[in-house]
Amino acid sequence: MDTDRLPGCYRHPDRDTGISCTRCERPICPECMISASVGFQCPECVREGSGTGHRPTANAPRTIAGGVVAADPHLVTKILIGINVLVFLVAAASPALVVQLELIGRYREFDQFLVGPVEGVSTGEYHRLLTSVFLHTEWWHIIGNMLALWVIGGPLEAALGRARYLAVYLLSGLGASALVYLLTAPNTATLGASGAVFGLLGATVVLVRRLRYEMRPVIVMVVLMLVLTFVPLGGSLNVSWQAHVGGLVTGALVGLGMLTPATGRTRTLVQWGTCVVAFLLAAAVIVLRTAELT
């Protein structure tokens, strides 16, 4: 028997955890933990403490990041997957739409048979920085990214709460696009949600460290995904390492802010202040690259 193994969550026995409910002392995982005045409580203790004839022991059900505990802790992840699938189907029915949504710095700049207007982020089409994050044109591409989004994003959404989780996703996608825009040839098109997914992975690393879980599994996952980024299987897949690295770094940065150990107004200030900083850094990269191309 492995005596060093952490106990499993009482509601999810397959999930090891080092956190216990401060009221009943049963082990609880990130999806089950609810912030209380001191430490964390399990959902049952919160319901009992907030029921008729009982004095509440927690002000409100909160995640470890201070977000509201939702009835469906994976709703945003489901919606994001739905949006990606919908855009994939629309793009398959109307291929011309892909040209309008993909991330490209300056289209036709090097085309000797120049036909039509010059297009791209550098000409003011900044929407491409985010629309490209929801765009896929190959079935294997969207299946791979959506599986990763479900596996990585679901638990992270439960731990952060909906608004904070969505902020990590969108800012990671923007950070990924900004680095692609900066370091990729301006007439090279890029698309896909992998940059945002890498951002969720970066935030997950921060979450695991914050909860003092075993770091080796998540570190192995990061290393493996980076290896596949720089040494893709088959050698013929076009993988944007810029998107993966940009998303990973941005997600880790925003995750640090979201999972600050502070409480109350200080925590809120740090969380959304970090989001502003991440946005401004991405915006600065975009402005510098645009000035270079124009």
pLDDT by position in tens, the chain (length 294): 344 566 788 888 888 787 778 778 788 887 787 766 556 778 888 776 654 334 444 455 678 888 887 788 899 999 999 999 999 999 999 998 998 999 999 876 544 444 556 689 999 999 999 999 999 999 999 999 999 999 999 999 999 999 999 999 999 999 999 999 999 999 899 999 999 999 999 999 999 998 888 888 888 988 988 888 887 655 445 788 999 999 999 999 999 999 988 777 888 899 999 999 999 999 999 999 999 988
pTM score, whole prediction: 0.80
Q: Which residue has the tokens 């850094």?
A: 281
- Cα 130–78–167 angle (5° rounding)? 45
Cβ neighbour number for residue 280 with a 10 Å cutoff: 10
First to last CA, the chain: 65
What are the chain's domains? 1-62 (no CATH), 75-293 (1.20.1540.10)
3-class DSSP state for residue 173?
helix
Distance CA 65, CA 261 (A): 9
H or E stretch including 270? helix 264-293
| Pair 84, 193: CB distance under 8 Å | yes
Distance CA 237, CA 141 (A): 10
Q: How far is CA 282 from the centre of its chain?
A: 16
Q: Please, which residues have CB within 8 angstroms of residue 53's CB and are 6 or more apart in sequence?
A: none
Distance CA 46, CA 196 (A): 33
B/e letters for 146-177, b = 16+ CB within 10 Å, e = fewer, are: bebbbebbbbbbbbbbbebbbbbbbbbbbbbb
